[in-house]
Amino acid sequence: MSTRIVIIGAGGQGLVVADILIAARMREPIEVVGLLDDDPTRTGQRVLGIPILGGIGSLPDVPHDAVVVAIGDNARREQITRDLEYRGVRLHIARHPFTSFASDVAAGPGCMISAGAVVTPGARLGPGVILNTRASVDHQSVVAAFAHVSAGATVGADVSIGERTLIGLGASVMSGRRIGADTIVGAGAVVVHDLPDGVVAVGVPARILRRVGQAG
């Protein structure tokens, strides 16, 4: 019997997850039932042929076994995931078949792993983590809950990335570095020094531009 999955969020990340799950059907017995999104103008539209069935609140009316919370904003993804978990909803890991995970990699519920992602031995991914296209996480690194490693980003060995942190497109984090929670590493940056919680850092080597939430 196949696992019936509902995708929560029909924006860009919802499209990415729909694509991942369609590809994953070659390895896993899954059925993508539909997407739910709180933008009422999206109801009735389709994403890669999969229908948008209504708002998130209509989940109890949609027969399903598990969901993937496909919302790009890290804090919002966490909030919606926690709320659904509280209501007993099961989270599915959306993993594209063209990825490489060492046999001992631990990935939390609700992770989304795009094509080309590589995760080497001893690495750990918290719940709701996004590893985008061609992102790599080297051995013994920890990517905490609801963090996002963007397309083409490279995370060295024994790195720690805090909760809800975004590693931007093509950025690199050198081995052994610690990055706090709610931090943004800009596209193309190279993280050479540890970074604290809640900062925006850019450049090579990455330097703190401002605190998150402060005007640029």
Q: Applying CB under 6 A, which residues contact ligand COA?
A: 150, 168-169, 184, 186-189, 200, 202-203, 209, 216
User: Residue 207 CB, nearest distance to ligand COA (Å)?
Assistant: 9
Nearest residue (CB) to ligand COA, 110 versus 186: 186
Give whole-number Cα distances, 125 to 77, 114, 118, 180, in Å.
Answer: 15, 14, 12, 15
Q: Which CB sits closer to ligand COA, 54 or 186?
A: 186
Taking the least distance from each CB to ligand COA, the nearer of 89 and 166 is 166
In the complex, minimum distance from the CB of residue 215 to ligand COA, in angstroms, rounded to a whole number: 8
CB 46 within 8 A of CB 72: no
- Matching residue, tokens 């390895």: 27
At its nearest, how many Å lie between ligand COA and the CB of residue 133? Answer: 10
The residues with which 137 forms a beta bridge, in sequence order, are: 119, 155
Q: Shortest approach of ligand COA to residue 72 CB, angstroms?
A: 7
54, 47, 55, 53: which is closest to 15 by C-alpha? 47
Could you list the beta-strand ranges (E) of 70-213: 94-95, 100-101, 106-107, 112-113, 118-119, 124-125, 130-131, 136-137, 142-143, 148-149, 154-155, 160-161, 166-167, 172-173, 178-179, 184-185, 190-191, 199-202, 207-211
Shortest CB 64 distance to ligand COA, Å? 28
Q: Give whichever of 33 and 70 is closer to ligand COA, judged by the CB atom.
A: 70
